[in-house]
């Protein structure tokens, strides 16, 4: 394993995550790098009935992470679906994108949600992070049925996101850049992302973490997820 990756996991091992978001990201990061962890048990213990904190977004994050290691809770699927109205969740692009991604990870197709994202996409959502979440949700949903129904929309939006990249290969912030890189990899733009991967590796702190000051659990785990996905596609990291 690359020294920087090894140092990052050592740093994470010294941390004390306490939120659904942090635990969900950690579970995915450790799984992508085939490193055993105990975070899934922690996350499951935080579940109340069929959900996490009564929050659509937290429940979606938790379901995505746990499904990624083969743990699916049908009651949580039902809980999420019961809260869909007129195609969306809370009439919110972020909640809807996160839920569609989670449902896809649990093999649950939701055409109404995909249609709502595409039909309501407009200038208010034209931010690289927001657009990348939409791209990710649509691709993961399409993968379930093997269609290219939204391929033109996805390619158009992906090209726009790529055009917003800075000269160093970034989208200004580490968290945003991770969301964007992951979406563009899914969209088939891996070869265009070499400069962005180099930038991301160069942003790690001396202690192995990513993020301001002494490091941040979310920024570090998201960076490890990005690098793990890139490794799976190209094997350029080892």
Model pTM above 0.85: yes
The verdict on residue 78 lying in a domain is yes
The verdict on residue 196 lying in a domain is yes
Q: CA–CA separation, 110 vs 1, rounded Å?
A: 38
The verdict on residue 168 lying in a domain is yes
For the purposes of burial, counting CB atoms within 10 Å of the CB of 82, is it exposed (0-12), middle (13-18) or buried (19 or more)? exposed
Contact assessment for residue 8 and residue 210, using Cβ atoms and an 8 Å cutoff? yes
- The CATH number linked to 158 is 1.50.10.20
CA 198 to chain centre: 20
Q: Please state whether beta strands 88-89 and 84-85 pair in parallel, antiparallel, or not at all (unpaired).
A: antiparallel
How many domains, the chain?
A: 1
The verdict on residue 190 lying in a domain is yes
Contact assessment for residue 122 and residue 81, using Cβ atoms and an 8 Å cutoff? no
pLDDT digits (tens, 9 = 90+) for 62-121: 999 999 999 999 999 999 999 999 999 999 999 999 999 999 999 999 999 999 999 999
pLDDT digits (tens, 9 = 90+) for 124-171: 999 999 999 999 999 999 999 888 899 999 999 999 999 999 999 999
The verdict on residue 166 lying in a domain is yes
Q: CA–CA separation, 208 vs 201, rounded Å?
A: 10
The verdict on residue 238 lying in a domain is no
The verdict on residue 154 lying in a domain is yes
For the purposes of burial, counting CB atoms within 10 Å of the CB of 177, is it exposed (0-12), middle (13-18) or buried (19 or more)? buried
For position 1, what pLDDT does the model report?
58
Among residues 90, 83, 187, 196, the alpha carbon closest in space to that of 140 is found at 187
The verdict on residue 32 lying in a domain is yes
Q: CA–CA separation, 113 vs 135, rounded Å?
A: 13
Confidence band (pLDDT; 50, 70, 90) for 233? confident
Q: Which domain does 223 fall in, by range?
A: 3-233
């Amino acid at each position: 394993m690359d020294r920087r990756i090894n140092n990052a996991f050592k740093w994470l091992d010294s941390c004390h995550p306490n939120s659904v978001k942090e635990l969900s990201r950690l579970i995915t990061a450790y799984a992508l790098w085939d490193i055993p962890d105990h975070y899934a048990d922690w996350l499951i213990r935080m579940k109340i009935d069929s959900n996490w904190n009564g929050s659509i977004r937290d429940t979606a994050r938790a379901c995505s992470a746990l499904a990624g290691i083969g743990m699916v809770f049908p009651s949580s699927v039902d809980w999420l679906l019961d809260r869909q109205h007129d195609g969306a969740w809370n009439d919110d692009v972020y909640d809807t994108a996160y839920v569609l991604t989670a449902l896809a990870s649990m093999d649950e197709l939701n055409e109404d949600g995909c249609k709502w994202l595409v039909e309501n996409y407009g200038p208010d959502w034209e931010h690289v992070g927001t657009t990348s979440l939409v791209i990710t949700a649509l691709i993961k949903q399409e993968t379930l049925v093997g269609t290219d129904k939204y391929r033109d929309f996805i390619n158009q939006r992906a090209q726009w996101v790529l055009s917003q990249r800075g000269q160093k290969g970034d989208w200004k912030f580490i968290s945003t850049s991770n969301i964007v890189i992951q979406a563009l990899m899914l969209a088939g733009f891996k070869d265009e992302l070499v400069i962005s991967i180099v930038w991301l590796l160069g942003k790690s702190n001396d202690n192995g973490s990513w993020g301001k000051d002494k490091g941040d659990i979310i920024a570090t785990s998201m960076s490890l997820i990005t690098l793990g996905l890139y490794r799976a596609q190209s094997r350029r990291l080892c």
